[in-house]
Amino acid sequence: MKTKTEADSTDITDHPHDDKSRPYVCTVCDKRFTKRCNMTEHRIRHTGENVYSCSQCEKRFSSRGALGSHKNIHTSKYKCTECDKCCQSDKLLAIHRRSHSGEKPFECTVCSKRFTQAGDLARHSRIHSGEKPYKCHMCDRSFSRSSNLQSHKRCVHSNRRPYHCPYCGKLFKTNTELQRHVCIHTGAKPYSCRHCSERFTWQRQLKTHLLKSHNEGTWLTCHICQKKFTRSDSLKEHLRRHEGVKPYVCSECLKPFCAAGEVKSHQLIHLGYKQFCCGSCGKYFRRKYTVKSHFRRCSDKLGLTMFNMFSPCVV
């Protein structure tokens, strides 16, 4: 029997003889429910539609529960006392607070990388094991992360572009792509240096600036070649290169790498996804250095600067 990949009007099935306590079964994923209304809401997730809209920011969600959690952000119910960030739940607030305390209680037994959440460790561990539990029913390709599967479906099997830029109207397949694009128009740099007027898009950029320009913080030094680093993960990656250790393996072709970022970049070849976009002409590329080279030629014609270049989308 052919496997279904999208929900339709017949996806709510009553099977009282199978499970009387949960008579409603989804014919896409076989999940069961006690109430028809729960089944109906669940079915929306298979269609990819976000039908529940927030009245305050117009952000959309696929379930009432997700919308309810989101509204906690607007009410400041779970607010961080350190940075005033509002979270959706007390659990997410507790996880967020670890970003201030530096606590990372979950450690990988293979490469010793540490994580703030158990789920992050579980996803990371698949880099070492090669496990790919998420399968695309359209082309039989498998993925190690659910987010990669969803990105694959949107970018490869769907032509829908539900996210539009409020400044220029350009359409995007994912909200992440849209947010990256909006920076072209807004030039948002929320992280500012307390010593000078410099501002940064990312917090790690600010940390590096504080060390290099104001000697604030602690340099991390390689005991082999004395090279200095601003981040512990960068030092660990550097040491693996000295030792020739490559613990990160591509789940598709088994090619080994020293860093997780290298695996992710490499796997885009197998995904067939071009994540870097020229902010000048909108053309997409797989590699960052390729789009940089292209952008220089493109921007010379239009008189633009590197500020206009797209940042990579997160897969």
**22-66 pLDDT, tens per residue?**
888 877 677 788 888 888 777 766 666 677 788 888 788 877 788
Mean pLDDT of all residues in 187-199: 86
Average pLDDT of span 197-203 = 83
pLDDT band at 275 (very low <50, low <70, confident <90, very high): low
Least confident window among 121-125, 176-180, 238-242: 176-180
Residue 132's alpha-carbon distances to 125, 128, 176, 180, 258, in angstroms, are 11, 11, 23, 28, 20
Which pLDDT band holds residue 303 (cuts at 50, 70, 90)? low
User: What's the pLDDT band for 224 if we cut at 50, 70, 90?
Assistant: very high
Residue 301: the pLDDT is: 60
The predicted pLDDT at position 32 comes to 83
3-state SS string for the chain: CCCCCCCCCCCEEECCCCCCCCCEEECCCCCEECCHHHHHHHHHHHHCCCCEECCCCCCEECCHHHHHHHHHHHHCCEECCCCCCEECCHHHHHHHHHHHHCCCCEECCCCCCEECCHHHHHHHHHHHHCCCCEECCCCCCEECCHHHHHHHHHHHHCCCCCEECCCCCCEECCHHHHHHHHHHHHCCCCEECCCCCCEECCHHHHHHHHHHHHCCCCCEECCCCCCEECCHHHHHHHHHHHHCCCCEECCCCCCEECCHHHHHHHHHHHHCCCCEECCCCCCEECCHHHHHHHHHHHHHHHCCCHHHCCCCCCC
Whether 225 shows a pLDDT value over 90: the answer reads yes
| Amino acid 242: pLDDT | 92
Asked whether the predicted pLDDT for residue 151 surpasses 90, the reply is no
User: Average pLDDT for residues 82-99, to the nearest whole number?
Assistant: 88
Region 181-199 average pLDDT: 83
Whether the per-residue pLDDT at 139 is higher than 90: the answer is no
Mean per-residue pLDDT for 60-87? 85
Give me the pLDDT at residue 305, please. 47
Give the pLDDT score at 49: 66
> Is 290's pLDDT higher than 50?
yes
The pLDDT value recorded for residue 262 is 85
Q: What is the pLDDT of residue 261?
A: 81
Whether pLDDT at 18 is above 70:
no
Q: Sorting pLDDT into bands at 50, 70 and 90, what band is 248?
A: confident
Instruction: Over range 156-180, report the average pLDDT.
Output: 80
pLDDT, tens digit (0-9, with 9 covering 90-100), for 201-221: 777 788 889 988 998 888 889
State the Cα–Cα distance between residues 285 and 291, nearest whole angstrom: 6
Q: What average pLDDT is seen over the chain? A: 78
pLDDT value at residue 307: 43
So what's the pLDDT on residue 47? 66
Do residues 266 and 259 lie in contact, with contact meaning Cβ atoms separated by under 8 Å?
no
Mean pLDDT of 265-273: 75
Residue 273 has a pLDDT of 67
